[in-house]
Amino acid sequence: WFLGWTDGNVTLSSGRSALRWGSGERRNSVDNAGVWRYGADAIYPSSSANRTSSFDALDAIVESLANSTQFPNLDMIAVSGHSSGGQMVQRWALLTNKIPFGDIGHPDTQVSRSLGQENRKRLHVRAIVANPSSYVYLDGRRYINNTFQYPTKKTQATCPQYNQWEYGLDVGGPTDVRYEHKAIMKAGGIDRVIERYGHRDVAYLAGSQDRCPTTGRDGWCYSHGLETTCMDMLQGSNRLERSWNYFHSLKALYGRQRHTRTVIDGVGHDHSLMFTSREGIAAIWTNVQK
């Protein structure tokens, strides 16, 4: 169970405590409720000896499904998220070391063996990232005036956290995430994390109408909850533009296009319409290994 920061402490029928996120790991008060999107630790239970990141929780869910003894016929897991959920899935897909992601050309046999999968067809994991307000970039460049480039020194000075976690991989940022530090170290460094991410199966979905520069609905666009800090705005003026910019940043970084991106025509910032569209269903259910 995940609880919001305004929820009280809850004990489940099993006797275990539900996890609750709040502003405990946030270095400012811009966003008290959403730190789970970035992998922050739960503030309840508060035992420092057993701190749980939201990414730890997602790892545990997917690892349970990936157990070949429990689910011997399962050959694909699709982890999907929309809006804030899309932010969580994209950042988790970059960092996780525990999931047999089916890295093309980069099999993680240690992970597969830990889940008892070395003697069966490799389980495939896909991350589906739909309409997030922001992404974690893999270097400090951004699309500015249609050119992928570093922001000016003046812009960087006025927006010093633009490439720090949760917007990039530089040290620092508004959220101190223990999981991020440990994951990068375990993977062998930032370069390895970046290189590995390009081989993972990540599908980006964007609604063609999720392009309002601010929250609203005026016939040609439908958006709400758009984040507009300077860090967000350096990624684009709206979610549709940010999706295009991020996807094309991957091609500039890797030298060829990685991952997939699909624009769903006529859909705004609506998770139901995104995931029940023909394109959304295909992203969730189509196994590229078959």
Taking the alpha carbons at both ends of the chain, their separation in whole angstroms is 34
Averaged pLDDT for residues 256-270? 95
102/122 Cα distance (integer angstroms):
7
Averaged pLDDT for residues 164-174? 92
* 32 pLDDT higher than 70: no
132/160 Cα distance (integer angstroms):
22
* 115 pLDDT higher than 70: no
Q: Residue 88's pLDDT is what?
A: 96
Query: Picking from 6-15, 83-92, 103-112, 244-253, which range would have the lowest pLDDT averaged per residue?
Result: 103-112
26 or 14: which leads in pLDDT: 14
For the CA atoms of 146, 130, 252, 242, the dihedral, rounded to the nearest 10 degrees, stands at 20
Q: Helices 54-66 & 84-95, crossing angle to 10 degrees?
A: 70
100 or 117: which leads in pLDDT: 100
What is the DSSP-derived secondary structure letter of residue 48? G
* 23 pLDDT higher than 80: no
pTM confidence score: 0.87
* 3 pLDDT higher than 80: no
Task: List alpha helices for 50-152, DSSP H.
Answer: 54-66, 84-95, 109-114
* 102 pLDDT higher than 90: no
Closest CA to 36 of 60, 47, 49, 52: 52
Integer angstrom CA distances of residue 70 from 57, 64, 115, 122: 19, 8, 11, 15
Closest CA to 207 of 222, 218, 219, 217: 222
Q: Residue 210 — very low, low, confident or very high, per pLDDT cuts 50/70/90?
A: very high
Q: Residue 173 — very low, low, confident or very high, per pLDDT cuts 50/70/90?
A: confident
* 238 pLDDT higher than 80: yes
Q: Residue 75 — very low, low, confident or very high, per pLDDT cuts 50/70/90?
A: confident
- Tokens 């929309």 appear where? 82
Q: Residue 24's pLDDT is what?
A: 47
Q: Residue 110 — very low, low, confident or very high, per pLDDT cuts 50/70/90?
A: very low
Averaged pLDDT for residues 218-229? 80
Q: Please tell me which of 14-23, 166-175, 275-284 the model is most confident about, judged by mean pLDDT.
A: 275-284
Q: Both tokens of residue 286?
A: 């189509």
Averaged pLDDT for residues 104-124? 51
